[in-house]
Structure 1
Amino acid sequence: MLNGSSYKYILFDFDGTLVDTNELIILALRETCKTFLGRELSDAELNSILGKYLDDQMRLLSPSQYEEMVLFYKEFYKSRQDSMIYEFPGIRQMLNSLRELGCKTAVVSAKGRGGIEHGLKRFGMEQFIDVIISAYDIKNNKPHPEPALKALEALKGTADEALMVGDSPYDILCGKNAGIKTVVVDWTIFPKPDILKHSPDFHIMSPQQLADIVKSSMRM
């Protein structure tokens, strides 16, 4: 690193980054659309709303019915979360490596706190996360810098010593808008050209690569 700092504060997106919720999210969005709008959700519509705050997703699909759609989505998701959510291979090992390196970590997500805490506990990750910034802890969601900056404030960290790790363009833009180096994970379901055009600082193929990046920064 040119400024001589090391990466000590790691901010993670949740869905699609730490935990594989992709299949359930897509199913819940499609079922909500079918139930309330009587039609299939197109792939173009799906890609345009993935990663957004739930209220915003539903408002884009139906300004008049979005409140009922939000409630339906939440119930549908909750009823299936224990059977359709999976751990990405290597995530816990990576989190443990970051802990051993002395890093502080945060989840920065457009998801509600209850869903984040449930997923972290289910896969034994809660011990590795110091701070949670959920959709209801902020006024401005990603790509606005507020979620990342609020996480850094809670961690008592600085932007030049932080990494923002995610699977969507919103994560990358949030980090950049906050002056934080960014990392995109290769296991994203977003079209990669849509993410890479925002020039993330790092593109990792496996969770362990993140720990390697942090370790290398500490030797410089």
Structure 2
Amino acid sequence: MNQDFPSRETLKRSVNAILFDMDNTLFDLVGAQVAACDCVVRHLGHDDGDELFTYFLNTSHGFESTENIRQYMQERRIPTNGMYDDACRIYATEKLRHITPYPGVTKTVREIRGMGFATGIVTDAEKADASLRLGKCGLSPFFDCVVTFDRVRIKKPAPDPFLLALNEIRARPDEVLFIGDSPRRDIEPCKKLGIRTVYARYGDRFSKTRDYSGADFVIDRMEDLLDIVKDLPAART
């Protein structure tokens, strides 16, 4: 009776596909937001950009919503007629202008693509924002799929975004490696699905200690991912 055995190439390769979180994993979105907030408050005649940014951490409006700017203005009795629209335009323009890939990201993603891996993005950002940010960073050509919030209508850590990405790259969970900066929204849901995980500690802007140890691997720079990819044990077939 014939039995299927892993090919030499399968044994050599650890994973068939690599998925990435986008914001704060490929680039510093938080840093770009803080810089944009600084520009907004200068335009409004105030000098508390860090305080404006704290409004974006308020869950009532959401991390990306410009309603945070409106609330900031209203609580300081800054007229919103006209000035709010200007503030939103400044915020959007400056945020995108300050988005650049972390050191080593472009090189790493290019090499991974050159190795023949399928690649994808799983992000809570809207499609329009993801397209602009990946385009600004010159990273758009390197990904086979981009799963955004408006495609699934539910955010991580729900499994739906990850499952859609698996379907689009036609990979089983045990054939995939996921890289993300958030233990709660990236690493933990992937582990529940059987996806191997890499904690991008350098991008975690919200953990006080960054001592999370629940991932399979931890990296402090994106280029370290290449060593992990080369050294992983073979994926099951």
What TM-score do you get using the length of structure 2 for normalisation? Answer: 0.70
CA shift in 2, pair 1:81/1:193, >3 Å = closer
Match of 1:153 in 2: 167
Identity of aligned residues (%): 27
Does 1:183 find its partner at 2:198? yes
Count of aligned positions: 203
Q: CA deviation at 1:186?
A: 2.6
State the secondary structure of the residue aligned to 1:7. coil
Q: CA deviation at 1:207?
A: 1.4
User: Which one has the largest radius of gyration?
Assistant: 2
CA RMSD for the aligned pairs? 3.6
Q: CA deviation at 1:119?
A: 1.8
State the secondary structure of the residue aligned to 1:19. coil
Q: CA deviation at 1:140?
A: 2.4
Matched letter for residue 22 of structure 1: V
State the secondary structure of the residue aligned to 1:184. strand
Alpha-carbon separation, structure 2, partners of 1:158 and 1:213: 19
Structure 1: which 5+ runs fail to align?
63-70
Q: CA deviation at 1:203?
A: 0.3
Alpha-carbon separation, structure 2, partners of 1:118 and 1:88: 16
Q: CA deviation at 1:144?
A: 1.1
Contact 2:15 2:234 in 1 (8 A): no
Contact 2:108 2:226 in 1 (8 A): yes
Contact 1:173 1:198 in 2 (8 A): no
Does 1:212 find its partner at 2:220? no
State the secondary structure of the residue aligned to 2:197. strand
Structure 2: which 5+ runs fail to align?
1-10, 73-84
CA shift in 2, pair 1:139/1:195, >3 Å = farther
Contact 2:145 2:168 in 1 (8 A): yes
Match of 1:122 in 2: 136
Mapping for residues 12-91 of structure 1, pairs under 5 Å: 12-26=20-34, 40=51, 54=64, 75-91=89-105
Once the two structures are superposed, what CA deviation does each residue of 1:103-130 show, in whole Å capped at 9, x if it has no partner? 1111110111112111222222111111
State the secondary structure of the residue aligned to 2:232. helix
Alpha-carbon separation, structure 1, partners of 2:30 and 2:22: 11
Q: CA deviation at 1:143?
A: 0.8
Q: CA deviation at 1:87?
A: 1.5
Match of 2:7 in 1: none
Contact 2:35 2:94 in 1 (8 A): no
State the secondary structure of the residue aligned to 2:199. strand
Q: CA deviation at 1:192?
A: 4.4
Match of 1:134 in 2: 148
CA shift in 2, pair 1:77/1:164, >3 Å = farther
Matched letter for residue 97 of structure 2: S
Contact 1:101 1:215 in 2 (8 A): no
CA shift in 2, pair 1:29/1:11, >3 Å = farther
